[in-house]
Amino acid sequence: MHIYLYDKDQIGKGEDAIRNCSIEYIRDMQMEIPAHVLESARIFRSPAGKPFFMDLSEIHFSVSHSGSVWGCAIDDAPIGFDLEDMDRIKRNSDQAPEMDIDERWQKIAKRFFSPEEYEFVRRGGKKAFFRLWVRKEAYVKYKGLKLIQEISNVNMVAGEDLISELPDAYVEEINLGQKLIGAYCAAEKKNIRGIKDHRKTSDF
């Protein structure tokens, strides 16, 4: 699996950005797919909105964006990928006290997470919330489901720890830098062969 990161103002049209990342991927992997095939490849969407290449079974991708960051994970098998800028809400909530922001994570966790997950967030605060949130987003993207309908249906905490091996998938955290947190979901554990950060300013 490869991950490509950009500033959102660098990428232009989203589908073109996916094609460009896919071209970079086939070059990185030295795949025998001509670049012009990807330049004209059509991107379809499932009923839940999951984008995919109809006629390129060798390339699977998942896109995420948060704040000013846009990212695309690409692999040779189905994947889900999510990233979050953990400071995004804080920057957009300059008038709100820090306590109010922390309470927001706990309220969301109490409403949508399992009791074990809520306790994990209550103990760990904002970072714990985001560690869970990116995993859940990656899971529903992998499964091709709608987030609000499914986010409560999978538990990712056992005891006091996050778990990676789920009944129908594998989910794992990705180190994307100091302020970014990410996760992928797939049928099994993946090797991350490369993370290419093309952002103008990066802390990765």
**Would you say the C-alpha torsion 75, 52, 169, 118 has a positive or negative sign?**
positive
> In this structure, how many other beta carbons lie within 10 angstroms of the beta carbon of residue 168?
10
* Pure H helices in the chain: 8-11, 14-28, 35-39, 88-92, 98-112, 115-143, 147-150
Flag whether pLDDT at 73 surpasses 60. Answer: yes
Q: What is the rounded CA–CA span in Å between residue 109 and residue 117?
A: 7
For 140, residues 6+ apart whose C-beta sits below 8 A from its C-beta are 80, 146, 147, 150, 151
One-letter identity of residue 163: I
The answer as to CATH 3.40.50.10320 being correct for domain 2-197 is: no
Q: What is the rounded CA–CA span in Å between residue 33 and residue 38?
A: 8
Provide the residue count of the chain: 204
pTM: predicted TM-score of the whole model, two decimal places = 0.90
pLDDT in tens, 98-117: 556 667 888 888 888 999 99
The domains of the chain are located at 2-197
Percent of the chain with pLDDT over 70: 89
Angle between helices 98-112 and 115-143 (to 10 degrees): 70
Flag whether pLDDT at 90 surpasses 80. Answer: no
Lowest average pLDDT, out of 8-17, 141-150, 165-174, goes to: 141-150
